């Protein structure tokens, strides 16, 4: 398993949140990230490498940049 973490952008409370987790690969990490985000913008990281920024584009659609 590989180590990943999410940085959830601040919500109405003004506090960003970090969630550490393990996944088999970046594509599985992305699936986990989508379930943890609760519609908030986020960054997905593997160690010191940022894999991408995700933002909610529609109810069932995420934009990855």
The confidence score (pLDDT) of residue 29 equals: 92
- The C-alpha atoms of residue 1 and residue 25 are separated, in whole angstroms, by 8
Q: What is the pLDDT of residue 54?
A: 87
If you average pLDDT over every residue of the chain, what do you get? 86
Alpha helices in the chain (DSSP H): 26-36
Contacts of 24 by beta carbon, 8 Å cutoff, 6+ apart: 1, 2
- Give the residue with greater pLDDT, 15 vs 13: 15
Instruction: Give the integer Cα–Cα distance in Å for 36 and 20.
Output: 11
Where are the domains positioned within the chain? 2-64
């Amino acid at each position: 398993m590989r180590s990943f973490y999410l940085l959830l952008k601040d919500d109405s409370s003004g506090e960003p949140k970090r969630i550490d987790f393990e996944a088999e690969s970046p594509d599985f990490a992305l699936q986990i990230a989508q379930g943890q985000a609760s519609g908030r913008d986020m960054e997905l990281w593997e160690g010191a490498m940022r894999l991408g920024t995700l933002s909610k584009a529609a109810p069932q659609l995420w934009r990855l940049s």
